């Protein structure tokens, strides 16, 4: 295809803008997925900490009751 030089330059510029936009969107998606993974990890860790604290309080309560 023989396009005039002005069109070629314009098409190249539009392709560069589209690539930049796609890279930006991909970067945002990656950051969003990482954020969700960290939130999920923190929620799971805090849940296990609460379970351990509850078990410790329960065992302390039982040991105090029998003493």
Q: How many CA atoms lie within 13 A of 22 on its CB side?
A: 6
- Residues 5, 11, 14, 18, CA torsion sign: negative
Report field, pTM of the whole predicted structure over 0.75: no
pLDDT of res. 32: 98
- CA 20/CA 3 separation, integer angstroms: 24
Quick: pLDDT tens for 36-65: 999 999 999 998 888 887 777 777 777 766
């Amino acid at each position: 295809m023989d396009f005039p030089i002005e069109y070629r330059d314009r098409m190249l510029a539009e392709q560069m803008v589209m690539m930049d936009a796609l890279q930006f969107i991909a970067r945002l998606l990656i950051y969003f997925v990482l954020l969700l993974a960290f939130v999920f990890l923190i929620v799971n860790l805090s849940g296990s900490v609460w379970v351990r604290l509850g078990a410790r309080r329960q065992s302390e309560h039982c040991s105090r009751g029998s003493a």
